[in-house]
Amino acid sequence: MPLTEDQIAEIAAQRSVSQPTMRATAPGMEKHLYTAYEVLDHGFVRVIDYMGDDAAIVQAARVSYGAGTKKSRDDSGLIRYLMRHWHSTPFEMCEVKLHVKLPVFVARQWIRHRTANVNEYSARYSILDREFYIPAPEQLAAQSTVNNQGRGAVLEGAEAAKVLEILKGDAGRAYDHYEEMLSQEGQAGLARELARMNLPANVYTQWYWKVDLHNLFHFLRLRADEHAQYEIRVYAETICKIVADWVPAAYGAFEDYRLGGVNLSAKALDCVKRMLKGEAVTQENSGMSKGEWREFEGLLG
């Protein structure tokens, strides 16, 4: 279970208390505050705090553009213009702070997005729980033969069972040794900061992650993409649902221009123009490498 009974009680208590405020609030985000949304087998995402809404983006943009902008386009139109033309500062006026529980190997991939403020649970001071990410059978896949950082066909039968047995067995033994090193009979035990190094990468950690909307959209563009690793993608997809309620106009523009849109190189755009003229374009006469052409064909379906 991702949440303990104490955590559930704490969240219920937080949600039961409301405070008057003069700052702008987003009704869509208010319903998400403190609620923990389960991800993977023991993980979750929950909103701790936020600042700003769609109106804050528009307000910041109009400070930049001066008087008169309101007359030429509505708020949603302005937000779509900003997204379409890769403006960033107005979106930085919104921030969100998340509490995330996730496997260590996912955290190490996530932390590569260095434009956020992070404070992680410290195994130097506290003892990590006996909780490990064990993939569902349908997520056990072989190495892709065409993508060095991707998955291929799903493992089945005895092969899948053997992998699950190894994952569970190794994680359990590592944690047993972790506990043993921490509490040697009659002795103080090994320091926590040393004992933690024996834990597997699928053990769960937690952190608070605060990020502005511009950088959050960058994270989601990469991690909610269908090519992203499944274990981080499900976190990104959960966050997408929250953001869609928080800033619906901005998220709609993001969905159109980033998640659902594509960027074409100059060579790819030239190929599209030639195809529209009826010319037969192949990889050999496209000017693209085999990898570029394969991706281009994928974009065209």
Packing angle of the helix pair 290-300, 266-276 (nearest 10 deg): 50
DSSP character at residue 3: S
223 in catalytic set: yes
Per DSSP bridges, beta strands 141-143 and 117-120 are unpaired
Burial of 237 (0-12, 13-18, 19+ CB in 10 A): middle
Strand partners, 118: 209
Q: What is the CA radius of gyration of the chain?
A: 24
Q: Structure tokens of 195?
A: 């004992």
Q: What are phi and psi of 227, to 5 degrees?
A: -90, -5
Report d(CA 144, CA 180) in Å as an integer.
Answer: 38
Annotated catalytic residue, options 46, 80, 196, 223: 223
Residues marked as catalytic: 223
